[in-house]
């Protein structure tokens, strides 16, 4: 059984091992494959039966040419890089990794928020540059410092990751408003309740995005929705960049309507030099690394291997298209 990993570097830049996957077949691992160059993708897949991808596209053209494919595994939760409907028509299961990064992504959302509230990195550099040594007072700060206790966090998408972020926010003394199409009312308590989007926009001091990218959620943070929010709201997004109309968020940041934003994802990745958020005030941007702690990536690797094992045993798991 031939196994090809098309773009394995971000999952395993060298600190993990492919050995468990190698035991399941004749393994070829490419660090990077062009995301959209069908010719290169087809050449690298060759006659392999098992294909593992992260961001490299497996579209209809590829599926029509590479007729030996029996299984497609995605090294991520999102699977929009695969034309899974065509794969279904060809009886090819597409399997994702649904729960590997829950704690890491929730933790990172709070990290973005805390950095906005305290600017710890900036103040550390200011000390090292001599600013504290030269200060006439025993302390100084260059940005307003924000206490979160008693404030309200609105979380859009209250699945596993949203709930993790919510628990961390509650531990900081925050109240949580959650919006989700699937409600688990058992989670409601004195400091957490479900609400509709309008109330969430109106009442939240911080809004965190943890929802999937669907046609109905694409661009949901836009000029209209921002107008409903509190003046000085903070927006956190380490879900999908396309949830935000970036030009509208840039305008809101520069006008002060939105106090600050922390984003780990943008509409096109890697980010392009003309992305409006690069010129926005008080916008913290990191390079899509919420998921990337070694512990999280090891879980991803383990689940990916188990997905392949289950397929080979005739009992595929985490299938999204069958």
Say how many Å lie between the first and final Cα of the chain, rounded: 22
- Beta carbons within 10 angstroms of residue 88's beta carbon: 15
Tell whether domain 102-285 is in CATH 3.40.50.720.
Answer: yes
Three-state SS for the chain is: CEEEECCCCCCCCCCCCCHHHHCCCEEEECCCCCCCCHHHHHHHHCCCCEEEECCCCECHHHHHHCCCCCEEEECCCCCCCECHHHHHHCCCCEECCCCCCHHHHHHHHHHHHHHHHHCHHHHHHHHHCCCCCCCCCCCCCCCCCCCCCCCEEEEECCCHHHHHHHHHHHHCCCEEEEECCCCCHHHCECCEEECCHHHHHHHCCEEEECCCCCCCCCCCECHHHHHCCCCCEEEEECCCHHHECHHHHHHHHHHCCEEEEEECCCCCCCCCCCCHHHHCCCEEECCCCCCCCHHHHHHHHHHHHHHHHHHHCCCCCCECCC
Please report, for residues 116, 121, 179, 243, 258, the alpha-carbon distance to residue 233 in angstroms, rounded to integers and kept in the order given: 12, 22, 17, 17, 5
pLDDT at residue 18, rounded to an integer: 98
200, 207 Cβ separation under 8 angstroms: yes
pLDDT at residue 80, rounded to an integer: 87
Domain pair 2-100+294-312 / 102-285, same fold: yes
Q: Where exactly are the structural domains of the chain?
A: 2-100+294-312, 102-285
pTM for the predicted model, two decimal places: 0.93
- Taking the chain (322 residues) in runs of 10, the rounded mean pLDDT of each run is 97 98 98 94 98 97 98 94 97 96 97 98 97 96 97 97 98 98 95 98 98 94 98 98 98 98 97 98 98 98 98 97 92
Bridge partners (DSSP) listed for residue 58: 82
**What is the architecture, at CATH level 2, of domain 2-100+294-312?**
3-Layer(aba) Sandwich (3.40)
Q: What whole-number distance in Å separates Cα of residue 155 and Cα of residue 178? A: 5
CA atoms within 13 A on the CB side of 313: 9
241, 189 Cβ separation under 8 angstroms: no
Residue 321's contacts (CB-CB under 8 Å, 6 or more residues apart) are 84, 85, 87, 88, 93, 94
pLDDT at residue 78, rounded to an integer: 86
pLDDT at residue 105, rounded to an integer: 97
Active site residues: 240, 269, 288
């Amino acid at each position: 059984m031939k196994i090809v990993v098309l773009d394995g570097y971000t999952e395993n830049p060298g600190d993990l091992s492919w050995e468990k996957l190698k035991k399941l077949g004749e393994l070829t691992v490419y660090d990077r494959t062009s995301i959209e160059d069908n010719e290169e993708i087809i050449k690298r897949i060759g006659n392999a039966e098992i294909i593992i991808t992260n961001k490299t596209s497996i579209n209809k053209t590829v599926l029509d040419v590479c007729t030996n494919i029996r299984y497609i595994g995605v090294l991520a939760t999102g699977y929009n890089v695969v034309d899974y409907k065509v794969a279904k028509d060809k009886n090819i299961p597409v399997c994702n990794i649904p729960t590997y990064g829950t704690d890491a992504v929730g933790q990172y959302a709070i990290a973005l928020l805390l950095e906005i509230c305290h600017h710890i990195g900036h103040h550390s550099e200011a000390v090292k540059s001599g600013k504290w040594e030269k200060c006439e007072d025993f302390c100084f700060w260059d940005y307003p410092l924000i206490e979160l206790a008693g404030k309200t966090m609105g979380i859009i998408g209250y699945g596993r990751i949203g709930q993790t972020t919510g628990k961390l926010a509650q531990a900081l003394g925050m109240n949580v408003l959650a919006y989700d199409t699937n409600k688990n009312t058992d989670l409601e308590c004195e400091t957490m309740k479900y609400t509709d989007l309008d109330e969430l926009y109106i009442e939240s001091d911080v809004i965190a995005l943890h929802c999937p990218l669907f046609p109905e959620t694409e661009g949901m943070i836009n000029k209209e929705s921002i107008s409903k929010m509190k003046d000085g709201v903070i927006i956190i997004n380490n879900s999908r960049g396309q949830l935000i109309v970036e030009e509208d968020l840039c305008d809101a940041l520069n006008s002060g309507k939105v106090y600050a934003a922390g984003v780990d994802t943008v509409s096109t990745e890697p980010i392009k030099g003309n992305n409006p958020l690069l010129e926005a005030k008080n916008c913290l941007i990191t390079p899509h690394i919420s998921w990337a702690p070694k512990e999280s990536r090891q879980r991803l690797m383990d689940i990916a291997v188990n997905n392949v094992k289950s397929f080979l045993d005739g009992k595929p798991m985490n299938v999204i298209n069958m």
